[in-house]
Structure formats: structure tokens, C-alpha cells
A and B are shown apart, each in its own frame.
Chain A
């Protein structure tokens, strides 16, 4: 009897469980017609955001929001910098000038002193006034060794608060170009909250309840989203006469481009900053989607994709070989075949279209290159690379085989196709290139150590100055690990000196910049340490179902970028939000 009772217990438990489950599972059908009622019931209740006041975005975040720390400019939740925390200036890439943001104005009082005047009446979200002390504090955080802008203190001597509204920066060496970049890139954090945080907390803290000066605050988060709510007491409403139109912004982490595409078509998404292959067809068809241009390349340009040869290896150490390689790549085929015209072929200098005025056309016409297999063959022959064993591919000067591998991260399908295309067009010039697709992390490691032949990279984004591109190409000294710049490990002292000189040209001295940049372009095109391929787009697909007046090249539409990517809100992304209009109005 006792035995039987013991056996009954799990049975009853299992029965209850099954009952509970079938009870829950039997109901899935009714809610099918439910969602329509939600829109109508919309009110100020933040548990149910009204569709006509909410902007849904995606394409920045690929997983749960990990932190709200503005120091972590590379992985903080969307909007941490730009919507919640703000910078002293914003940069307008079209007019190529800094616009005062937290700062009303800034100027060089002498060659090594920069003075910033802050706006009156700005308050932190907790009501405390924003003062010069916060600015001093934020820049001094960089004295900690692991803070990303630590290197600033190599040439910045001191930061002082002259009075509540004035900050004075004194430099040991004035790097004007880099300084402008810092002015619109560094978030200002509140001293009264951050004071006393250890280096570990500053760098690694999640900063769970961020208090910023910005136009939004975080409302909630979940594994696949962050929700931001507009602050109606934001200072910019009066001081800048600007107001971002969406009351709520929901940034969604979509796991794949297919999901993003599906949601765009369902009108559940207003702005996708994903690369969506084939979006050109949707823009042309009547799907309520817009992009910046309504014809190729559809998107603004955001960065340059470079073919990076490892210049410490044979035969890539020979400029003649690199030039032949450059002439053997059919970029047009990649632009049309792989991207369906969503990108633009790069100029031989690799400078983004926004920097056109710095391109020395004389240098380009004399030394530039274009796809020309016959010329590539001739360059190879002249330099002594001959096909001695008759397999259709040239050999090294000493007769050894040339077999190069081109690495791009596995899963980056557009780049994988491009690598195949490069391999095919190089073959016609007699260069043997095999595409190889390692895992992204493995690639990063090999790239840092210089353990590769060729790779594609596009990590440098549009900025205030071509200086950042030339730093990327020429920075010295070459270290054991090259993590962010000069992956080609190209050493040219003269070029690096010129880059440093360029850094010390004032940013309003266009002629002075042009003079140095023209010299740099000569070196670049003579030696081709990196080969520009195409300009990647500022991917932005917007739906006109709920919001209109998206940026566009045509008509009177705004000319800023529609983008939520990190570090792009200061480059016009925020201004775009202020120009939106509800589609219903």
C-alpha cells in the first residue's frame, strides 16, 4: 500500500503539469485578430507606446543592451552618447564645420590655448546645473590609462574651469585636427555623480541609471530593445530651437537582416541602418521605403573599404606589385554585381566624397589607377614578375610561386562575394589570389599580428578631417600588435611626419591642409600601402508609413544622415530626428 502511494505522487504531479500545460496551450488561436485594438487605445501610458509618437529603429545593436556607459563609445546602448549624454559640439559633414552644442562657442585664444564658452542654463536630468567643472572632470577622466581617450593627454597639458561658463584647455602641442575630432566625440558626464568612481567603474561600470543633459532618457530595456523617452525640459528646445519629434524611440536588436526587412515591410520599423541587399528594388517599387538618393548609390557614403596588403611580406613589399594589384581589381563589377549599385566605387585617393575639396586632381590624373588588366600585366612584367612555369599566374622574381590569400570575416556575405570577385579579376592579370573566410575573431587576431597576405577593412569612418584617414594609412611606429591603424605595416617616415604636420594645421586653413594632403596623396599613389575599393554606404532605409520628411538628396528634404549608429548622432543623426514629421499631418 505504501509502495503504491509513493508511485502515485509523481503520476499526480505529471498529470497536473500536463493539465497546466494543455490549459495554457489550448488558447493560442484567439489573439490572432487582437493587435488592431492596441493603436486605438494609445495614450500617455508608457506601458503601451502610441505608434504615431514612437520611432522604431534598428541596425546598431545586435544583442541585449550591455551598458549605459558613455565612456564605452563602442558598445554602450544605442543613444547613450548623443541622446542621453551630449558632447560640446556637433559636426556638420555637409558644411564641414563644428556647431556649438553644450558649448556656445569655442576658439583658439593663442596657438596652444583653446577656450570654450558653455551655454547658460543647461541642467542635468536630475536638476543639477551643468557647469565648466563637469567638462574639466570629463576630460580629466582621460588621465586614467585604460580610458579610450587617454592619448589626448600626451599633448594636452591642462584643463581649467575659468568660471562656471568658461573652460580653458592648454596644450603642450596643438594637434588642431585631432582636437576638433575630440570636441564632438567626447561625452560630458556629471561630476557630482561620477566623482569618486574608480578606474574600473569608469571603464567597466554599466552606469545603470544614466543622468545626462540630453534630449532623451532611458525608459526601459530588455534583451532585444532599449526604449528612450523624450525629456520635455531639454535645454535645446529654447537654446537651439530644436525638438526631436518622436516622443519615444525604441531601438530593436534584430538578429538578422531578414528580420529587419520583414519588420520594415510590416511597417513595424521606421528606420533600418542594416545593409539590406536588394533594397534598391523596394525603393523603386511602391513599398513606402525611402533612401537618401532614389537612384544609385541610394545611400550617403560612410567609410571606405580598403584592400590592405601586408607590406612586410613578399611580393606585397614591392610598390610595383601593389600598383599592378590595384589595376587588376575590377571594382565596377563588385559595385554592380555584389552590391547591386548600393555602393560607389572609390576615388584612387580613397577620400570620401564629403572630402572632395582635399583631392588634388592633378596628382590623381598623373598617378591614379583604374581597372586595366593589360596595364597590370605590363606593370608586373616590367617589374620582373613573369609566368615562368606557364600556369597562367606570375611568379616571384626568384621564381618561387606567388599564391596569396585574401581574408574577410566568415558570414559577411557581401565581402565574401567581393573577395571572390577580386580573386577572379586578379586572375585575368595573372595574380593568384585565393579568398579565405576565417571567423571574425580569428581574423582580428591575424590582422593585429600581421599574419595575413591581403584583407579588406573599412573601420575608419567619416570624420571632420582626412587626417583620420592618413593616420590610418601611415601611423608609425609599427608595433608587434597593430590593432586599429596601419594594418599594412607600411613604414614611411616622411609620410608620417607629413601626417603629424597636417595635424598641426588649423582646421579653418583649407589651403594649408590641401598643400600637405596633396603631398600625402603623391606618396599614397606612388606606394599604394592600401588600395581603396569602394565607399560603403550609410545604410539607411526608412519607412514613410508613420514618419515623413526623411533626409533625401532631392527637394527641400533635410540633408543630414538618418542614422542611429554609435558616434553618428553627433554627425547629423540627431538633427535628422528634429526634422521628422508625423506622416498623418
Chain B
């Protein structure tokens, strides 16, 4: 057990190191100088004043040091929990920017990922080998899962937001409100959350439902199912066993899909002007805001790694073979 998790942790540690390094490198190798554009935005006419500002900001952000020194400083600051100051939203610290955005992103991603997985699996399992449902679920599922998140989001925004006017098209809560703990405000939050949630939920749902349906059909044709049914076991029971076996690859699939789901969430946030990390990342790239970009990516990398780790644990719990393997390793 310890060796299993030790190995996993080592792999996660390495992934983290590489991801953070890449994340540090990418903005620095993009063309353009963030300080130059920051100063240019200031519309200062006098060349000497421009030079003064430029020199000042370059040293403030530590961009005047050699690259290896910047890289070391970066790790040093990171371990102290200091993400630096945003260039785009100067002088707000990156950690402040991220903390206001993260709740929105989490509130979108966590429910949509878990719910779509749970509902999709149940639904797919139920639909398999039931002619009428199968004939509808399969095509609808394919259409949903093949839809880009962004496109479905735009469709939903247009139909339910602009045409029907049932849902707002922008913001995390009404522009007329201030955050407080009243019921009206919470309802308002939900109201704004519904459409972005739905677009994430629906796309993911289709994929899980199809996957589960195929797995169940495969399991129902396997020897143990045939044997059970030859013994006269009720089909409910057979389906239950089939489900337990079919759900394992779906868990692996969840781990693999997490990155894609997060990326989808970011795009969806932009479409709905939802104040999460997605819109931040877009702007950080456009403004060459190294520090904000690093901060948000770091957060996403951490999130995906932690989620993967949880899935690893869950896997140990639900699949006896992994436990058996570990016991063998211990012996």
C-alpha cells in the first residue's frame, strides 16, 4: 500500500515539477515584452519618463535578471506561496485575483463533472439493450459529446438568454446586487450558474452515457453474464454485476478526461462572461501577464493532480484487483 502510494506520489511530484517549469517557460518565450506594452498603455509622452518607468517596472518584476536567476526566484517565491503581482491588473497581487475567481470555477466544474459522470453512467447503463431508449440515447449522446463546449454554450445563451430571456447572459450574479447571505442573492447566483453549468453538463453527459452503454453491452455478452443467466439469475442481478465491472474503465476515463473538462469549463466561462479563471487566463495571455498566467495554470495543474490522486484512491477502493496487487507486492 505504502509503495503503491509512494510511487504515485513520486509520479505526481515529477508531473508537478515539469508542468510548473513548462508553465514558467511558455510566457517567457512568447514574442513581445510585457513591460513595454504596460508602459505604452501609460501614454507617457516624454521619452525620459518612459525610460524611467520602464527601468522601474523591469526591476520591480525582476525581469532584468538572467533567466536562470528568474527561474530560481520563481521557485523560491512559489514555495513561500507568493505568486507575484499581476502585470495586467497592476498592482493587484496574483493570489488576490485568483481567490476571487476560483470559487466560481470550482462551483461550475465540480458539480458538472461529478453529476454528468453519475447521471451519464446511470443513464447509459439503463439504456443499454433497451431498444427504444437505445435508439434515442445513442444518437443524442453522439451529437452532445461531439459538440464543442463553446458552441453549445453559445446556442444556450442565444436561445435561453436572448430569445426567451429566461436566463442572464453574463456575470456571476446580477449586476444590480451586492454579495450577501440573503435567499434572493443565493437564488440569483443559481440563476446565473444554470446555463454555464448546463453546457458543461450536457456535453460531458453524452460521452459518459455512450461509454457506459457500450461497456454494459460488452459485459452482458461476457461469459459470466451468460453463465448467470443460464443459472436463471434475474436480469436485474446480472445488470448489477455488469455495471460494477463496466464502471471501472469509466473511472479511468474520468481521470483522463479531467484536463479536457477543465479546458471546456474555461471556454464556457468566457462565453457566459462568468467571472472564473477562464476569462482571467484569456486576458493574461493577451496581456502577457506572466505572473497571472503562472498563478492560474499552477492552480489548474494542482487541481487536476489532486483530482487524479483522489481517483487513484477511489480506484483502490472499488477495484479489489488493485488491492490484491498491493497485497502481493507487500508479501
Residues of A with Cβ closer than 8 Å to B? 7, 10-11, 14, 17-18, 21-22, 24-25, 27-29, 31-35, 38, 41, 46-51, 54, 56, 62-64, 66-67, 72-75, 145-148, 150-151, 154, 204-206, 219-220, 222-225, 227, 250, 252, 254-256, 259, 262-263, 265-266, 268, 411, 438-445, 448, 459, 471, 475, 479, 481, 483-485
Contacts and interface: CB of A to CB of B under 8 A. Distances in A.
A448 B51 CA distance: 12
B115 A224 contact: no
B286 interface: yes
A223 B92 CA distance: 12
A222 B169 CA distance: 17
A25 B88 CA distance: 35
Interface in B19-33: 30-33
B52 A146 contact: yes
Instruction: Name the residue among B100, B176, B286 with the largest chain A CB count within 10 angstroms.
Output: B176
A18 B32 contact: no
Given A27-B190, A145-B52, A254-B273, A266 B162 contact: yes
A255 B273 contact: yes
A484 B43 contact: yes
Interface in B109-158: 110-111, 114-115, 118, 157-158
Interface stretch (B178-186, B220-228, B242-250): B178-186
B99 to A, nearest CB: 10
- Which 3 pairs show the lowest CB-CB distances between chains A and B? A441-B32, A66-B89, A151-B46
Nearest to A411: B286
Given A151-B45, A206-B91, A483-B39, A34 B187 contact: yes
Instruction: Name the residue among A25, A29, A41, A72 with the largest chain B CB count within 10 angstroms.
Output: A25
Contacts of B114: 17-18, 21-22, 25
A83 to B, nearest CB: 17
B92 A18 contact: no
A105 B287 CA distance: 42
B47 A150 contact: no
Contacts of B52: 145-146
Given A41-B184, A146-B52, 15 more contacts: A14-B314, A14-B317, A18-B114, A32-B166, A38-B174, A51-B176, A64-B100, A150-B46, A151-B49, A220-B178, A224-B275, A250-B176, A256-B273, A440-B286, A448-B36
A381 to B, nearest CB: 39
Contact of B40 (A49, A50, A72, A448): A448
Interface in B36-60: 36-37, 39-53, 56
A146 B317 CA distance: 61
Interface stretch (B69-77, B191-199, B232-240, B294-302): B191-199
A250 B174 CA distance: 11
A41 to B, nearest CB: 8
B169 A67 contact: no
B11 interface: no
A47 B170 contact: no
Contacts of B171: 224-225, 252
29 contacts: A7-B317, A14-B314, A18-B114, A21-B115, A25-B115, A28-B197, A31-B191, A35-B191, A38-B176, A47-B185, A49-B177, A51-B176, A66-B86, A67-B91, A150-B49, A224-B172, A224-B279, A227-B178, A250-B175, A252-B175, A259-B170, A266-B162, A266-B169, A268-B168, A439-B286, A441-B37, A442-B32, A445-B31, A485-B45
B268 to A, nearest CB: 12
B254 interface: no
B247 to A, nearest CB: 13
B37 A64 contact: no
A239 B49 CA distance: 38
A21 B110 contact: yes
Contacts of B190: 27-28, 31
A210 B140 CA distance: 55
A63 B180 contact: no
B191 A205 contact: no
Contacts of B49: 145-148, 150-151
B316 interface: yes
A56 B273 CA distance: 16
B34 interface: yes
Contacts of A252: 170-171, 175
B317 A459 contact: no
A483 B53 CA distance: 12
Nearest to B283: A63
A146 B37 contact: no
Contacts of A484: 40, 43-45, 50
B270 interface: yes
A156 B191 CA distance: 57
Contacts of A154: 46
Nearest to A224: B275
Contacts of B253: none
Contacts of A481: 47, 50-51
A450 B286 CA distance: 22
A265 B178 CA distance: 23
A96 to B, nearest CB: 23
Contacts of A73: 43
Interface in B271-328: 272-273, 275, 279-280, 282-283, 286-288, 310, 313-314, 316-317, 323
Contacts of B91: 66-67, 204-206
B167 interface: yes
B165 interface: yes
Contacts of B172: 222-224
